[in-house]
Amino acid sequence: MPIYGRLPVAFERGEGAWLYSVGGEKYLDALCGVAVTTLGHSHPAIVAAIKAQAEKLLHVSNWFEIPEQIQLAEAISKICEMDSVFFCNSGAEANEAAIKIARLYGHNKNISNPAIVVTQDAFHGRTMATISAGGSRKNQAGFEPLLGGFKRLPYNDLEAVRQVANNSDDVVAVLVEPILGESGVLIPDQGYLVGLREICDQNEWLLMFDEVQTGMGRTGKWFACQHENVKPDVMTLAKALGAGVPIGACVANGPAVGVLKPGTHGSTFGGGPLASVVGKTVIETMHAEGAVERAAEIGEKLLSALTTQLGGNVLVSEIRGLGLMIAIELNVEISRLLQKILDRKLLVNVTGGGKIIRLLPPAIIGDAEIEQIVSTIATVLESHQA
């Protein structure tokens, strides 16, 4: 179906930070399949884990014990210090599980029409519940009726959340991205997540973070909420957890543990042996290579190189980022911006109506790749001015 505006290039092989096109051309991947391949393409440890597990067992039903799933749950539980995990196959599905937990939690408190606070410009996926929770009118248009039970507030606005807390009895949870990803790397003020934690505690609401994009080391900590030392009650993961093999996880803690009872939710593929082994190998490999620390270091270097070399450009209005989630916001729309960057063999994302260049490079790049990213974008901007 003609859903995607596809770029005219096909890749047949990937290695580390590089992708090789069918025509044999080499591209630097500063997109990572949208925040998926944080360890680079075809990492030997991941490839070996896939091969070994494929030879043993690909699939069994969740009606049986799956030791690989338990091991992955334990590994996730350790890095986020949360108690229990449900596995599915994507970020949207992980958020669906979070939404169901919030509603059940509300009904358990005798709230018959439970509402979840969500934010403007949020992205939580493309299913009916997640486009309803999301803040993009474009993603919702034509798919009405939307799902009810969401209260939308401005992002980064604690006062608006406090007002809802004072004026309504039906709210049961808050679902937010710690940094808005699809909307162009919008980083809230320091204290936003702490403030949300306080309001949720005061009102016995579940605090739910969508860390599908920000999680798994992307921002230079395992999870973006750890920058503010805030622990949510529910956290959703996907993207980089599987390094390209589909997986999603909904992690619960405190009052969110045990809300989903036997028979209340499920997934055929979720937490299968192959995806579980891959997820576990991703976490082990990230530990072994210090990938989270490297994401922080490389991210700082890249952000400062961009700021030094592009900060003074008249077309650039802001350069911002945390770890390896970086955006260069322009004050003009450059036609075919993405294509022009692609022509110079660099993969990025352009969002925000064509004005925001979003960089999500892997945690394995060095100084040469950082310089290539910066100089490529500089060249494209200069050629526009000329």
Ligand X SMILES: *Cc1c(COP(=O)(O)O)cnc(C)c1O
The residues carrying an active-site annotation are 123, 210, 239
Question: CA 78, CA 222: separation in Å to the nearest integer?
Answer: 11
Q: Is 123 in the site for ligand X (CB under 6 A)?
A: yes
Measured at the CA of 62, the angle between CA 60 and CA 63, to 5 degrees, comes to 100
Q: Is 135 in the site for ligand X (CB under 6 A)?
A: no
**Toward ligand X, which CB reaches closer, 210 or 329?**
210
Question: CA 378, CA 386: separation in Å to the nearest integer?
Answer: 12
Q: Is 327 in the site for ligand X (CB under 6 A)?
A: no
Convert residues 225-264 into a mask of x (bound to ligand X by CB under 6 A) and - (unbound).
Answer: -------------xx-------------------------
Q: Is 213 in the site for ligand X (CB under 6 A)?
A: yes
Question: CA 182, CA 349: separation in Å to the nearest integer?
Answer: 10
Measured at the CA of 309, the angle between CA 307 and CA 312, to 5 degrees, comes to 75
Q: Is 181 in the site for ligand X (CB under 6 A)?
A: yes
When binding is defined by CB under 6 A, the residue of 75, 79, 85, 92 that contacts ligand X is 92
When binding is defined by CB under 6 A, the residue of 103, 124, 197, 231 that contacts ligand X is 124
Q: What is the identity of the amino acid at 275? A: A
- How many residues belong to the site for ligand X (CB under 6 A)? 15
When binding is defined by CB under 6 A, the residue of 33, 40, 91, 114 that contacts ligand X is 91
When binding is defined by CB under 6 A, the residue of 40, 106, 114, 125 that contacts ligand X is 125
Instruction: Please report how close the Cβ of residue 29 comes to ligand X at its closest, in angstroms.
Output: 17
Instruction: Please report how close the Cβ of residue 30 comes to ligand X at its closest, in angstroms.
Output: 16
User: Considering only 105-113, 174-182, 255-263, 371-379, which stretch makes contact with ligand X by CB under 6 A?
Assistant: 174-182
Sheet holding 18-21, edge to edge: 11-15, 18-21, 26-29, 346-347
Q: What would the two tokens of residue 286 be? A: 């990230």
- Which residue has its beta carbon closest to ligand X? 91
Q: Is 362 in the site for ligand X (CB under 6 A)?
A: no
Q: Is 281 in the site for ligand X (CB under 6 A)?
A: no
When binding is defined by CB under 6 A, the residue of 177, 228, 233, 369 that contacts ligand X is 177
| Residue 164 CB contacts under 8 Å (≥ 6 apart), including other chains | 117, 151, 153, 171
Q: Is 313 in the site for ligand X (CB under 6 A)?
A: no
Instruction: Please report how close the Cβ of residue 308 comes to ligand X at its closest, in angstroms.
Output: 29
Q: Is 275 in the site for ligand X (CB under 6 A)?
A: no
Residues 58, 269 contacting (CB under 8 angstroms) = no
**Toward ligand X, which CB reaches closer, 90 or 281?**
90
Instruction: Please report how close the Cβ of residue 89 comes to ligand X at its closest, in angstroms.
Output: 8
Question: CA 64, CA 272: separation in Å to the nearest integer?
Answer: 11
Q: Is 359 in the site for ligand X (CB under 6 A)?
A: no
Q: Is 377 in the site for ligand X (CB under 6 A)?
A: no
Residues that bind ligand X (CB under 6 A): 90-92, 95, 123-125, 177, 181-182, 210, 212-213, 238-239
